[in-house]
Chain A
Amino acid sequence: MQIIKLIYRNTLRHKLRTFLTILGLTIAILAFGLLRTVVSAWYAGVEASSASRLITRNAISLVFMLPSSYKEKIRQIEGVQTVSWGNWFGGVYIDEKNFFPNFAVDPKTYLELYPEYALTPEEEKAFLIDRKGFIAGRKVVERFGWKVGDTVTLRGTIFPGNWDFVLRGIYKGKYRTTDETQFFFHWEYLNESMKKTSLRRADQPGFFIAGVKDPDQAAEVAARIDASFKNSVTETLTETEKAFQMGFVSMTEAIVIAIQLVSFVVIIIIMAVVANTMAMSARERTGEYAVFKTLGFGKWHIAGLIFGESFFITMTGCALGILATFPAAKAFGDAMSAFLPIFHVSAKTIYLGILASVIVAVVAAIIPAWRSVNIRIAEGLRKIT
């Protein structure tokens, strides 16, 4: 207890230096937490993927469509339970800066395959029966202040024209990783319009989603789907939802790696700052450590004082940094919700922050402790005089 008291008082001996070091640590841990959360947010789509869903698309590229007749063939393939389909709509709400993902989907099958988009039975029923109806995630609805029954107009970019939709339901994510920024409307609405305005683009979904009976058989089912369209005019590429999402992430992998590197560089910089603080503290107290040794305190006691002080400073900064991460992540997530819809500080990020702080504390104290422990008492006492 006395030793802890001594560590505490030693820490506060140079209040400004300690305050600045703790402030630096707080900012570093905050930056580390935010950067790691950005990386996690990048992979959120992958994390939220279901193992029981397969995505089938045109083998050449995602920009090419598939015949809608494929849905029946896919449905008949062994291992497939449900088939849904849809198109990336790419509509703009008022201004391009108001980005949110919007899709034309087959509502009934789509909601069967995505039970994580939770609607009330009334909302679901209202959506299913209104061909001009749409549902949207809680975040996007809050962002634009929509209310159920409001008409929302999207300007088509892939499918030209102004498209009016009526909000029939607001879905909430069942899990923390569920994206609540999406907008879904009836594929039939899109298709009927295409039949009238651009017939050659009608009956062409951009993708099929197959729900498999047994997730362990997903790879075999995917192979069966692709095999059944082999040598046809439009060959398919089927992969698990996770692999499909990873395809998007891998396009920006260099950015993700850069963010990860920066997060570790922040820790290395703060390690140097804490090491400098500890080196200065230990150097100033060389004489006192010699007195401790004279009184009979051993090497472990001296090392304990230095490591204790390093831990005290580092873990205080760590705790403050972690506490600051939550409101900062909330503010950052709100500001970036269009691009990073899932922005939650994960437990793993917190653990990594704590681990990084422990490493900083240990590394920063090693050299000062080593020097203080090994200095001869007589030499240490001379430092006082």
Chain B
Amino acid sequence: MENKNPLVILRDVCKTYRRGSQTIPVLQDINLEINEGDFIALMGPSGSGKSTLLNLIAGIDKADCGSITIGGVDITTLSETELARWRGLHVGFIFQFYNLIPVLTAYENIELPLLLSDLSKKERREHVEMTLEMVSLSDRSEHFPSQLSGGQQQRVAIARAVVTDPTILVADEPTGDLDRVSAAEILGLMERLNTQLSKTIIMVTHDPRAAEKARIIRHLDKGYLNADHKTYL
């Protein structure tokens, strides 16, 4: 593992929120390296800053200090437009509540990120069908989110996250809204994405069972990343 080049490098990252005149530090002195092909779980109590850290890595929030380099690009220096384009190309996001667009079918939801690419309609179809097959939902492609179970919706969300073949996959409590069986399915799918397709996954979770699927577990407490971590190889 030490031989790999770090894909994600965070140096002295901090983040504060303002509430009126109060300044609340959320993340302080975060230094983290994630290698290509890693599956890392970020754990910690509520309010520890794990989701904020995930948002910073995914480029959907801005750090107040420090640098975040992903695939050689310091995303803290990018403008909002550049960042949006970068996210479209390099980040696949899996949300706790799936966040599918309710008026689009499973197929159309998965196709959504591809609309920003230069792919032709035929190429997009090939990508979407392949991804649907990967998440075992080929027979549900014309179903709207309301016609799918929670587990199926999350699989659609995973398919949407991976359809562009992003550099990193970030998942915020991906099993938080699922029953045990569905959660196990989703975790199994994520594990396969990591082991079989070498996807780099950063997952925030409360659930120790979910964290066990990751190869590295890091703990956050009161905005600090604890030095100790577990690595399962």
Contact = CB atoms under 8 A, between A and B. Distances in A.
Whether chains A and B associate is yes
B113 A296 contact: yes
Among B102, B103, B108, find the residue whose CB has the most chain A CB atoms closer than 10 A: B103
A293 B91 CA distance: 12
* B interface, over-half SS: helix
Contacts of B108: 2, 5
Contact of B81 (A5, A6, A288, A298): A298
A384 B173 CA distance: 14
Interface string A292-306: 111111110000000
A384 B97 contact: yes
Contacts of A376: 61
B130 interface: no
Interface residues of A, number: 24
B104 A6 contact: yes
15 contacts: A2-B112, A2-B115, A6-B103, A13-B103, A288-B101, A292-B112, A294-B60, A296-B85, A297-B88, A297-B116, A299-B81, A378-B61, A381-B95, A384-B97, A385-B97
B78 interface: no
Given A291-B99, A384-B97, A385-B97, 6 more contacts: A6-B101, A13-B102, A295-B87, A295-B93, A295-B113, A298-B84
Given A6-B104, A378-B55, A295 B88 contact: yes
Nearest to A10: B103
B89 A294 contact: no
B38 interface: no
A377 B96 CA distance: 15
A230 B148 CA distance: 94
A273 to B, nearest CB: 23
Contacts of A381: 60, 95, 99
A296 B116 contact: yes
A3 interface: yes
B55 A297 contact: no
Interface in A271-312: 287-288, 291-299
Interface in A197-235: none
Interface size class of B (residues with CB under 8 A): 20 to 34
Contacts of A294: 58, 60, 87, 91, 93
A294 B80 CA distance: 11
Interface of A: 2-3, 5-6, 9-10, 13, 287-288, 291-299, 376-378, 381, 384-385
Interface in B27-66: 52, 55, 58, 60-61
Contacts of A295: 87-88, 93, 112-113, 116, 160
A241 B118 CA distance: 65
A294 B96 CA distance: 14
Nearest to A8: B103
B160 to A, nearest CB: 8
A385 B96 contact: yes
A294 B111 CA distance: 15
Nearest to A3: B115
A83 to B, nearest CB: 74
Contacts of B104: 6, 9
Q: Please give me the 4 A-B residue pairs with the lowest Cβ-Cβ distance, nearest first.
A: A296-B88, A9-B103, A377-B60, A291-B99
A6 B113 CA distance: 14
Contacts of A3: 115
A376 B81 CA distance: 13
Interface in B149-167: 160
A168 to B, nearest CB: 69
B103 A297 contact: no
A188 B155 CA distance: 95
Contacts of A292: 112
A310 to B, nearest CB: 17
Given A10-B103, A378-B61, A296 B97 contact: no
B112 to A, nearest CB: 6
Contacts of B87: 294-296
A299 B82 CA distance: 11
Contacts of A9: 103-104
